[in-house]
Amino acid sequence: MEKIIDESLSFSLKQYALMYDSMKEKPGLLPRTIDTTGALISAKSNWWTSGFFPGTLWYLYEYSRDEKYREAAAAMTSLIENEKYNKGTHDLGFMLYCSFGNGLRLTGNESYKEVLLTGAKSLITRFRPNIGCIQSWNSRRGWQCPVIIDNMMNLEFLMWAFRESGDSSFYKICVSHSDTTIKNHFRPDYSTYHVVSYDTISGKVEKKETAQGAADESAWSRGQSWGLYGYVVMYRETGLKRYLDQAVHIADFLINHPNMPADMIPYWDYNAPGIPNTKRDASAGAIMASALIELSGMVDAAASGKYLEVAETQLRTLASPAYRAKAGENGNFILKHSVGSLPGKSEVDVPLTYADYYFIEALLRYKKLPD
C-alpha cells in the first residue's frame, strides 16, 4: 500500500502542476470536468465545486512541502474569497473549508480565518429553526424547503467556526441538522433519501424524493457516501455516540450491499437499472474510502480491520489503470469514471474535481495511519 500511495501522490503532483498551468489561460476560473472532446470545462467561484481544486493543491503541498504547490494553492484559493458573502448556497463548506480551511491549517494565514468566519455566518442564514435543518437549494421542482443529504458535508466547516468563535449557535445548528437528518432522511436499512423537502410553515416533511438518483426509493451512491462521511465528522467533532452509531450503520449497509462490486467502487446508484452493465462512480468510492479510514480509528479492532480492508481495496482500485488517468490525459484530472447526474445527463463517466480531492485526502489519511 505504501508504494501505491507514494506512486499515486507523485503522479498527482505532476498531473496537477499541468492542470494549474492550463488554468493560467482561464484567469479567474476553476477546473470542473471535461467535455466529450476531452476539453476542460471550468467554472466560476460560485459553482459548488470551486473549492476542491485549491483544496487538492493544499493537500499536495502538505505531502510534498514544495513551495510551488503552496503558491498555486494560495493563488487558486484567492479566487473564491468573495463567496464568503454568498447566502444563496448551502455549499460553502465545500467552497471555503476545502480551500481556505486547508490553507489556514497548513500556513496559519490569519486572513483566511476572517474569510472562513464570515462564510460560516453566511451559511447559517440558511438554517430554518422550525424545520431544524439548513436549507439546501432554494424552492424548486415543487419542493418548498429541500434538504439534501450532501448538506451533512458542510457541518465540519460550522463546527470549526464554533471552536474558533466560541459561538454556540454554530454547534446547536450542526446538532439539530444532524439529528433531524437521522430522523427524516434515513430508511430502516440505513440507506438515505437524496432530497427531503419540508413544509416551510408547519416544518413537517412534505416529500422524500431524488434529484440525482435512479428513483426516489433508490440508494444514490454518492449520497450514501456523503452521509457516511458527514456522521464520521460529527462524531469526531461532538463525541456524541449516536453519530458514531449512525456512521457504523451506514458503513455496514454499503459494505454488505449485494450490488457492491468486488473492487468496492459503487455503481452510480446501488439500485441502478442495468447493473452490472451501468456506470460506476469513482467519486462515491473515493469519499467512502476517506470516511472509512477515519472511521477505522473510532471503532474496535475487528470493525477497524474490516473498514480499512475495504478502504484499501478502494484505493488500490482507484490507483489502478482502470480508474487513474495517464499522465497529461483526462484533462489533467487524476481519476476517470465519475458520475455527476445521470438522470440530468450531466457529467456522466467523466473526471470530477471532488473525486480527485477525496482520493488524495484518503491517500494522505492512509499514509498517516499508525503502524
Q: Are 153 and 94 in contact (CB under 8 A)?
A: yes
The C-alpha cell that represents 206 in the structure block: 412534505
Q: Is 91 a catalytic residue?
A: yes
Q: Is 189 a catalytic residue?
A: no
Say which of 6, 21, 35, 91 is annotated catalytic.
91
The C-alpha cell that represents 188 in the structure block: 430502516
Hey, what amino acid is at 65? R
Q: Which residues contact 238 (CB under 8 A, 6 or more apart)?
A: 159, 171, 174, 175
Q: Is 57 exposed, middle or buried (0-12, 13-18, 19+ CB in 10 A)?
A: buried
Q: Are 19 and 53 in contact (CB under 8 A)?
A: yes
* Cα distances (angstroms) measured from residue 137 to each of 51, 73, 195, 203, 331: 18, 29, 10, 16, 30
Say which of 6, 66, 150, 263 is annotated catalytic.
150
Measured CA to CA, the distance from residue 147 to residue 196 in angstroms comes to 5
Hey, what amino acid is at 81? E
What's the angle, vertex CA 16, arms to CA 10 and CA 22, rounded to 5? 150
Q: Are 317 and 285 in contact (CB under 8 A)?
A: yes
Adjacency order of strands within the sheet including 145-148: 145-148, 195-198, 205-209
- Residues carrying an active site annotation: 91, 150
